[in-house]
């Protein structure tokens, strides 16, 4: 009996969610500043009161990929879309004046491509989008246009760049 109970618990723990979206974010950090994965986790836990960092992956300026929440757990990164998505954040997204800009370093681009290639292989049906692409379609023309973006995040066209 004990064994079968354990195997039930175990299979629930290992149950992977259905992933229909892979959503990219920026940390909205100026290019001349730092905001590490550890800082982000600390802020999400101690300032927002979450149990862990909201993202599943965090890519720092130097291209290092940091694991956040386990993929099987729902993240906290995109209102209305957390249930079936994986959230990835890169450190940056603002120029030195604080304006939205694609600040990804070559190392970050390489790391993001590597990470997304792996995720696409494991979740081939999932769409890869930027946070801003999930803004409401205000004029109902089926496209999320720049004037409809709730925010600029992730400050580049993720859907265009990551088509596998
Ligand atoms: Zn975002």
Tens-digit pLDDT profile for the chain (164 aa)? 444 455 555 445 567 899 999 999 999 999 999 999 999 999 999 999 999 999 999 999 999 999 999 999 999 999 999 999 999 999 999 999 999 999 999 999 999 999 999 999 999 999 999 999 998 888 888 888 888 888 899 999 999 999 98
pLDDT reported for residue 12: 52
Tell how far the Cα of 5 is from the centroid of ligand 1, in angstroms.
40
Distance between Cα 22 and ligand 1 center (Å): 12
pLDDT of residue 146: 85
Cα(105) to centroid of ligand 1, in Å? 18
So what's the pLDDT on residue 102?
97
Distance 27 CA to ligand 1 centre (A): 7
pLDDT of residue 148: 82
**Every domain of the chain and the residues it spans:** 2-161
* pLDDT on residue 9: 52
pTM: 0.88
Given a contact cutoff of 8 angstroms between Cβ atoms, the answer to whether 104 and 43 are in contact is no
Overall CATH class of domain 2-161: alpha beta
Q: What pLDDT is stored for residue 50 in this prediction?
A: 95
pLDDT computed for residue 1 by the predictor:
45
User: Which has the closest alpha carbon to 20: 101, 124, 93, 112?
Assistant: 124
Write out the two tokens for 151: 């925010």
Predicted pLDDT at 31? 96
Task: Give the DSSP letter string of the chain.
Answer: -HHHHHHHHHHHHTPPPP--EEEEEE--EETTS---HHHHHHIIIIIS--SS-S-SEEE-TT--EEE-S-TTS--SSSTT-STTEEEEEES-EE-TTS-B-----HHHHHHHHHHHHHHHHH-TTPEEEEGGGGS--TT-SS---GGG-SS-TTSS-HHHH---
Beta strand pairing call for 57-59 and 127-130 = unpaired
Q: Rg for the chain (alpha carbons), in Å?
A: 17
Give me the residues near ligand 1 (ion), CB cutoff below 5 Å: 25, 131, 153
């Amino acid at each position: 009996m004990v064994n079968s109970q354990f195997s039930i618990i175990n299979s629930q723990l290992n149950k992977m969610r259905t992933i229909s979206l892979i959503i990219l974010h920026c940390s909205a950090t100026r290019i001349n500043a730092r905001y590490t994965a550890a800082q982000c986790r600390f802020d999400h836990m101690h300032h927002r009161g979450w149990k862990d960092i909201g993202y599943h992956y965090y890519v720092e300026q130097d291209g290092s990929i940091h694991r956040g929440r386990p993929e099987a757990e729902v993240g906290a990164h995109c209102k209305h879309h957390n249930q079936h998505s994986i959230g990835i954040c890169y450190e940056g997204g603002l120029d030195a004046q604080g304006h939205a800009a694609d600040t990804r370093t070559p190392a970050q681009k390489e790391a993001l491509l590597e990470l997304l290639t792996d995720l696409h292989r494991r979740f081939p049906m999932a769409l890869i989008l930027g946070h801003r692409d999930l803004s409401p379609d205000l004029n109902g023309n089926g496209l999320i246009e720049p004037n409809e973006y709730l925010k600029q995040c992730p400050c580049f066209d993720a859907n265009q760049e990551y088509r596998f």
